[in-house]
Amino acid sequence: MTAHEHYDHRILVLVSADRPLTQRMISRDLDIALGLVNRLVRRLIDLKWIGVRPYRGRACRYAVTPAGLREKARLEAAQLEETISLFADTRDRLRDGLRELAAEWAAGDPASNGNGAKRVVLYGDGEMAQIAYLAMCDTELQLVGVVDDCGGRTRTFLGLPVHSLDRLSETHLDGDPFGRLVVVSPNPEETIRARLAARGISDSRVFFLGVSAGA
């Protein structure tokens, strides 16, 4: 969607809530300048996508018109299509990176733990890590576990426990052997490298999937 369509949709969603609104309230909810809100609302009124009538004080009672409801539905469909396309592009990009890792992983690599298994640990448990996990299903890689900067909190990732860094060593995560640490964290790469170095994990064991800041 264009920037205009993005704002159109968000204002139509706010108006659909059927509550008294001021333009200042819209400005706060959308985190944009009041002057821009004024122009956007006037545009929607001119397009007859919303109607307006006075309410108490300086508030107005906005209402989405039938034409506005049709536009809101169109924008929501476009947003969904955009999200699906972004997901597919991201999955394909991550899958290409993981396949590259699997292809470069020689069968005799000691990191395979003698049985040829290409066992990996994910560093990161956010949305990008979830997409990486789905992409991994189309590769030879085998997920052993997940590690992140938990800060002592207990979390799970698709049913797996998320371990803190103190459970990670050069070759094992909480006792389970692995060969490569695949980084899918949004944290800066230099910060992650420093944390891993402090754990005694060499760069040869680490594979950045290209999602961390500065990667």
d(CA 157, CA 124): 9
Q: Are residues 94 and 36 in the same domain?
A: no
Q: Residue 19: is its pLDDT beyond 70?
A: yes
Query: What average pLDDT does the segment 12-32 reach?
Result: 88
If you write DSSP's letter for every residue of 70-94 in order, what string do you get?
HHHHHHHHHHHHHHHHHHHHHHHHH
**Does the residue 44 lie in any domain?**
yes
> Quick check: pTM over 0.85?
no
Kindly report, residue by residue over 49-74, the tens digit of the pLDDT. Answer: 999 877 676 667 889 999 999 999 99
**Does the residue 213 lie in any domain?**
no
Range of the structural domain that residue 183 is part of: 89-208
d(CA 76, CA 6): 10
d(CA 89, CA 130): 14
Q: Are residues 106 and 162 in the same domain?
A: yes
Highest mean pLDDT of the ranges 46-60, 111-125, 144-158, 168-182: 168-182
**CATH no. for residue 196?**
3.40.50.720
- Which of 12, 31, 64 is the C-terminal boundary of a domain? 64
What is the model's pLDDT at position 71?
A: 96
Q: Are residues 109 and 200 in the same domain?
A: yes
What is the model's pLDDT at position 54?
A: 72
Q: Are residues 98 and 196 in the same domain?
A: yes
What is the model's pLDDT at position 213?
A: 45
**Does the residue 169 lie in any domain?**
yes
Q: Are residues 94 and 52 in the same domain?
A: no
Query: What average pLDDT does the segment 168-182 reach?
Result: 91
**CATH no. for residue 8?**
1.10.10.10
Tell me the pLDDT of the chain averaged across its residues.
86
* Number of domains the chain contains: 2
